Amino acid sequence: MSSFEFFSDAGRFLRGNLHTHTTRSDGALPVEAVIAAYRDAGYDFLAITDHFLARYEWPVTDTRGFRDQRFTTLIGAELHAPRTALSPLWHIVAVGLPLDFAPATEDEDGPALARRAREAGAFIGIAHPAWYSLSLEDAETIDAAHAVEIYNHGCQLMHDKGDGAYLLDGLSDKGRRLLTYACDDAHFKAPDFAGGWVEVKAAHNEPDAILDALKAGRFYSSQGPRIHDIAVTDSVVEVACLPAMGVVVVGEGYLMSYRFGTGLTRATLPLEPLAVSPWLRVVVIGGDGRRAWSNPIWKDQL
Ligand SMILES: [Zn+2]
Ligand SMILES: [Zn+2]
């Protein structure tokens, strides 16, 4: 199945955040208050991803006790190891880790640590690339990555560097097939909560089903707008969404197709402008400027 056909699968979308901090590292709120915030805001699941560093005693925060019929949790951490061209440490999100994931060793660099986390079962995300000026060359070395963060709300709010599209699209242009997700990276020291999330189509609101859906790309990302369906033919992309002021389809380099209007709920965009692009992805723009993003769609998988 192509990664976007999940829209018509049975079941409903589950809303979740994949990148969150608590007082187990440098967040302002304890685990129970963080869980309560997402639960009360209507989220279906949460991954707490405290900084996996010696100074915080290598936290893989155990949230299993907060799972119930309506809300569940994935076990995760934000992994750090030397180094990128411009930063002494990598920032790598790992969701679906075992609770006994061993501390990083002195000779383990970012790519090696990410590989070990993926081998342990985790979904691997390249976190907030713009925030630390992560280059395409650096990112290519994370061969274990499943995804790039296309939007990090905390990094946008406090640093004006929340965007990851440059890196996702650059890697796609190099032929690398990655997924993409939005998150808030909330630390609860500023209004950084609930500014970006994922909508996952999973059969059950259970950790394993969600993790499988993440790895298979059965999700989209949002700051608010909803995507109901995406269909791609030889000549057009059809998008059904909650009323939007624009639908944009981007592809290789600066190739794109767009439609703007008032209260769009359905848009048909010609693919001809993207004829030579091997991939495309859909962005829905709400009337308030907030966006929703599909995963990249590769034409040879249609
Ligand atoms: Zn980080
Ligand atoms: Zn973080």
Would you call 300 helix, strand, or coil by DSSP?
A: helix
Structure tokens at 235: 């000549």
Q: How far is the CA of 262 from the centre of ligand 2 (A)?
A: 36
Q: How far is the CA of 196 from the centre of ligand 2 (A)?
A: 13
Q: How far is the CA of 238 from the centre of ligand 2 (A)?
A: 35
| Closest-approaching ligand to the CA atom of 90 | 1
Distance CA 165, CA 176 (A): 14
Distance CA 75, CA 47 (A): 6
Core vs surface per residue 220-242: b (16+ CB within 10 A) or e: bbbbbbbbeebebeeebbebbbb
Q: How far is the CA of 142 from the centre of ligand 2 (A)?
A: 18
Q: How far is the CA of 127 from the centre of ligand 1 (A)?
A: 6
Tens digits of per-residue pLDDT, 54-90? 999 999 999 999 999 999 999 999 999 999 999 999 9
Question: How is domain 5-220 classified at the CATH fold level?
Answer: TIM Barrel (3.20.20)
On average, the pLDDT of the chain sits at 97
Q: What is the pLDDT of residue 254?
A: 94
Q: How far is the CA of 285 from the centre of ligand 1 (A)?
A: 26
Residue 42 gets the label, from left (phi > 0), alpha (psi -120 to 50) or beta, of left
Length, in residues, of the chain: 302
Question: How is domain 227-301 classified at the CATH fold level?
Answer: Immunoglobulin-like (2.60.40)
Distance CA 191, CA 184 (A): 10
Q: What is the pLDDT of residue 1?
A: 43
| Closest-approaching ligand to the CA atom of 130 | 1
Tens digits of per-residue pLDDT, 161-184? 999 999 999 999 999 999 999 999
| Closest-approaching ligand to the CA atom of 131 | 1
Instruction: Show Cβ contacts of residue 263 under 8 Å, excluding neighbours closer than 6 positions.
Output: 243, 244, 245, 287
- If you search the block for the tokens 């998988």, which residue do you land on? 301
Q: What is the pLDDT of residue 12?
A: 86
Give the domain ranges of the chain.
Answer: 5-220, 227-301
| Closest-approaching ligand to the CA atom of 77 | 2
Q: How far is the CA of 80 from the centre of ligand 1 (A)?
A: 8
Kindly report the pTM of this predicted structure.
0.97
Q: Residues of the chain whose pLDDT is less than 70?
A: 1-3
| Closest-approaching ligand to the CA atom of 185 | 2
Would you call 26 helix, strand, or coil by DSSP?
A: coil
Q: How far is CA 269 from CA 62, 92, 210, 230, 298, in A?
A: 45, 35, 31, 11, 17
Q: What is the pLDDT of residue 13?
A: 96
Q: What is the pLDDT of residue 63?
A: 98
